[in-house]
Amino acid sequence: MPRRVWSVGLMMLVVGLGAWARGGFGAATDESILRRIQQAAARRVASLADLMARFEEDREGFLATLSPDPDFMHRHGGGVLPFAIRGFPAEFVQGLVSAKDGGVARYPIRVVEDRQTRERLIVNAAGEEIARRPAPADYDPGAYAKSRFGEGMGRDRRVADRLLAIYDPARIVMEYELVAEEDIAGWAEAEAAEGERLAAKQEEQAPRALEGGAPPDELAFVELRVEPGGGTAFRWHGRRAV
């Protein structure tokens, strides 16, 4: 715990100095930006071991939601992870594929478990494997199923095999965006600005009373899409009944 607190505090200092050097945070509110920095800093990863620990912790929360089809893979977004470039192997860093958004380089990756070897694989945005890590020595992929259905599994082998296949952690794919820790202030500023833009856009598109002050009798969505940065944009059309 002390190490995590120290890491978050140090990162807040680094990104704060970076923002100061650039002359402040810009148009978006300082509070919104600092909140994003603080949330991101708490998920900082300084090595492949840190990244694997984050993966294990994140996917554990999704085990209970797995569907009954063992062949269906579940993809979940793990958000942005600030990463310390110097703590990662050179081949890993060189294998990252950048996608710039808001002027800040983001590196999308996927982390998944190999069902055969139980190794953890890291894949870049181009679908190329850039790292492979062994499972922990005491790892049991059936631990979750056994903890919930141990009695029933002990009575019927076919039931046990079915439940082990359904609750196989390898069915969960975690998707992250890595951002160099020195770029987190810029990332937070871009995210805050985008959030304000979306809020203003949604306010402009909010249904208003038609001429005469009467509200619309019908309201229909005509567009719904996910915006960069995780926001949702939608457009609707309202009309009065004739």
Question: Which neighbouring-strand residues pair with 234?
Answer: 224
Please give, one letter per residue, the 3-state secondary structure of 26-92: CCCCHHHHHHHHHHHHCCCECCHHHHHHHHHHHHHCCHHHCCCCCCCCEEEEEEEEEECHHHCCHHH
**Would you state the structure tokens that stand for residue 129, as one six-digit string?**
């494997």
Nearest to 103 by CA among 187, 26, 179, 25: 187
Q: What is the pLDDT of residue 5?
A: 42
Q: Tell me which amino acid residue 216 is.
A: P
Averages of pLDDT over runs of 10 residues in the chain (242 residues) are 45 48 52 88 96 97 96 97 97 94 91 97 98 95 96 94 97 98 92 80 67 53 54 53 46
Q: What is the pLDDT of residue 213?
A: 53
Q: Give me the helix-helix angle, 184-205 and 2-21, nearest 10°.
A: 80
Please give, one letter per residue, the 3-state secondary structure of 87-116: HCCHHHHHHCCCEEECCEEEEEEEEEECCC
Dist CA 130 CA 128 (whole Å):
6
Q: Tell me which amino acid residue 238 is.
A: G
Q: What is the pLDDT of residue 233?
A: 55
Which residues, 6+ apart, have CB-to-CB distance to 43 below 8 Å?
Answer: 54, 79, 80, 81, 82
pTM: 0.72
Instruction: Please answer whether residues 64 and 166 qualify as being in contact, where contact means their C-beta atoms are separated by less than 8 angstroms.
Output: no
Dist CA 59 CA 199 (whole Å):
31
Residue the block writes with tokens 């969505």: 221
Q: What is the pLDDT of residue 28?
A: 47
Locate the domains of the chain by residue range: 43-181, 207-239
Which residues, 6+ apart, have CB-to-CB distance to 208 below 8 Å?
Answer: none
β-strand pairing of 104-113 with 99-101: antiparallel
**Would you state the structure tokens that stand for residue 46, as one six-digit string?**
């300084």
- What 8-state DSSP symbol labels residue 217? S
